[in-house]
């Protein structure tokens, strides 16, 4: 598959660079999307805890 070590290292470098670019793109997309507040388990627990206190 690889003729010599240089071909292998170049292939490894390109693969790693592509993985880094994909990870950076995923992080950029995650930062651009608005966060959905109150969707986590802890967020729901805080929400219901606040409404229970209001009922008392």
pLDDT over 80 (residue 53): no
- What per-residue confidence (pLDDT) applies to 18? 97
Q: 0.85 cut: is pTM over it?
A: no
- What per-residue confidence (pLDDT) applies to 52? 55
Distance CA 42, CA 50 (A): 12
Q: What angle do CA 9, 23, 21 make, to 5 degrees?
A: 55
- What per-residue confidence (pLDDT) applies to 20? 97
- What per-residue confidence (pLDDT) applies to 4? 85
3-48 tens-digit pLDDT: 789 999 999 999 999 999 999 999 999 999 887 665 566 655 555 5
């Amino acid at each position: 598959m690889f003729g010599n070590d240089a071909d292998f290292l170049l292939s490894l470098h390109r693969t790693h660079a592509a993985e880094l670019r994909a990870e950076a793109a995923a992080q950029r997309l995650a930062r651009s999307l608005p966060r959905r507040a109150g969707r986590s388990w802890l967020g729901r627990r805080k929400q219901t805890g606040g409404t229970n206190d209001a009922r008392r």
